[in-house]
C-alpha cells in the first residue's frame, strides 16, 4: 500500500486467517481500480518471489531503526518480533501462516471501503479461496460477453453503452409519463364538482402514473388552468389553492402536493395529517 499510495499509509487494524485478510489503514480518498490492481500485482509479485519468512527478536528501538513497520499507537515491549520477507517487507508481527511467501499461492482483493473519516479498509482472499473468487468472476465475465456477443476486452464498453441507453430511455419514459399525467389530470378537471367554494375532483388514474415529480408538475399545470379559468370569469384568483392527492394502495402510501396563490404559505404536511386522520392513518 505504501508503494502505491504513499508513505502516509499507516496500519489501523487487521484480521488475518489462512485464506482471508482484512487490513485497515490511513488514507483520505477511495482507492481507484487502477491502484487496487497495482497493489494486487505488487503482492502477487512478492508471492511469486517465494521469499523466505525470517523471524528475529530485536529491541524495539533497533527494530524501528531497521525500518520495521508496526501498528500505529500500539504498545510494544522492550523486545519485539520482527518478520522479514526478502527486501519486500519488514514488520513487527506476532506470527504468520506461511514459512515462504510462495505458500500463499495468490492474493485477490475482494473489497475496498471507508470505515471512518480518513481510514480505509481492504479485504482480500488468498490460496484456494482466491482461486475460487477468480474463477467465479471469470465465469460471470464470460456470461456477460456471451450476452453482449463481444469479447472480454470490449465487455466494459458494451456495459457502459447499455447503461447510457438505459438512462436515456428512462429519461424519455419520464417525459412521456409526465405529459400523460398532466393530460389525464387536465381532462379529468372538466368533471370536477363544485362543493361550496371548492372545486372537487375524484378520479381513478392508471396505476403507477403518479410519482413525486409527476404530482408536482400536474398540480402546477392544474393550478395554472384554474387561474386562467378564474381570469376568464372575472373571479378573484388571488386566494386560489390547488391540491392534488394520489393514493398507492400497494405501498400503503398517500402523496399530497399543492400549489397556491395565497400570499401565506399553505402547509402540505398539515393537509396530509388531516387526511390521514380521517382515513385512520398516521
Output the CATH code of domain 2-148: 3.30.980.10
**Which pLDDT belongs to residue 106?**
96
Mean pLDDT of the chain: 81
Using a pLDDT cut of 70, give the percent of the chain over it: 74
Choice between 18 and 239, residue whose per-residue pLDDT is larger: 18
The closest alpha carbon to 22, from 112, 127, 118, 133, belongs to 112
> Please, are residues 281 and 272 in contact by the beta-carbon 8 Å criterion?
no
* DSSP-derived 3-state class of residue 190: coil
Q: Region 103-117: what's the mean pLDDT?
A: 95
Compare 116 and 266 and report the one with higher pLDDT: 116
**Domain ranges within the chain, ordered by starting residue:** 2-148, 171-278
Compute the Cα dihedral for 20, 26, 31, 36 and give only its sign.
negative
Cell numbers for 204, please give them. 381513478
pLDDT at 45: 95
d(CA 33, CA 106): 19
Q: Would you place residue 62 in the very low, low, confident or very high pLDDT band (cuts 50, 70, 90)?
A: confident
pLDDT tens figures, 159-215 = 999 999 999 999 998 888 878 877 777 777 777 777 777 777 776 666 666 666 777
3-7's contacts with Cβ under 8 Å and 24+ in sequence apart are 3/42, 4/35, 4/38, 4/39, 4/42, 5/31, 5/35
Beta strands (DSSP E) in the chain are: 11-16, 20-26, 53-59, 79-85, 89-92, 107-116, 119-126, 193-195, 198-200, 241-248, 253-260
DSSP characters over 49-113: HT-BEEEEEEEHHHHHHTT-B--TT----SEEEEEEETTTEEEE-S--S-SBGGGG--EEEEEEE
Residue of 188 and 55 predicted with greater confidence: 55
How much of the chain is helix, strand and coil, in % rounded to 5?
A: 45, 25, 30
Residue 264: band (very low, low, confident or very high) from pLDDT cuts 50, 70, 90? low
Amino acid at each position: 500500500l505504501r508503494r502505491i499510495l504513499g508513505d502516509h499509509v499507516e496500519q489501523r487494524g487487521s484480521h488475518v486467517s489462512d485464506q482471508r485478510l482484512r487490513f485497515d489503514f490511513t488514507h483520505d480518498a477511495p482507492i481507484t481500480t487502477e491502484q487496487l490492481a497495482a497493489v494486487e500485482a505488487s503482492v502477487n509479485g512478492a508471492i511469486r518471489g517465494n521469499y523466505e519468512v525470517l523471524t528475529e527478536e530485536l529491541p524495539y528501538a533497533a527494530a524501528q531503526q531497521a525500518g520495521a513497520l508496526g501498528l500505529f499507537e500500539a504498545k510494544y515491549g522492550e523486545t519485539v518480533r520482527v518478520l522479514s520477507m526478502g527486501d519486500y517487507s519488514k514488520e513487527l508481527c506476532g506470527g504468520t501462516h506461511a514459512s515462504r511467501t510462495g505458500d500463499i499461492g495468490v492474493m485477490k482483493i475482494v473489497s475496498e471501503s471507508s470505515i471512518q473519516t480518513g481510514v480505509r479498509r481492504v479485504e482480500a482472499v488468498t490460496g484456494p479461496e482466491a482461486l475460487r473468487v477468480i474463477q467465479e468472476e471469470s465465469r460471470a465475465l464470460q456470461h456477460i460477453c456471451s450476452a453482449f456477443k463481444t469479447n472480454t476486452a470490449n465487455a466494459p464498453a458494451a456495459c457502459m453503452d447499455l447503461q447510457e441507453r438505459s438512462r436515456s430511455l428512462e429519461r424519455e419514459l419520464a417525459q412521456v409519463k409526465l405529459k400523460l399525467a398532466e393530460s389525464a389530470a387536465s381532462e379529468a378537471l372538466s368533471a370536477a364538482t363544485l362543493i361550496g367554494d371548492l372545486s372537487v375532483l375524484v378520479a381513478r388514474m392508471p396505476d403507477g402514473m403518479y410519482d413525486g415529480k409527476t404530482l408536482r408538475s400536474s398540480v402546477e399545470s392544474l393550478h395554472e388552468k384554474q387561474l386562467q379559468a378564474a381570469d376568464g370569469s372575472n373571479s378573484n384568483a388571488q386566494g386560489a389553492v390547488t391540491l392534488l392527492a394520489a393514493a398507492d394502495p400497494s405501498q400503503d402510501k398517500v402523496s399530497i402536493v399543492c400549489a397556491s396563490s395565497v400570499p401565506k404559505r399553505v402547509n402540505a404536511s398539515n393537509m396530509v395529517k388531516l387526511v390521514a386522520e380521517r382515513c385512520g392513518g398516521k
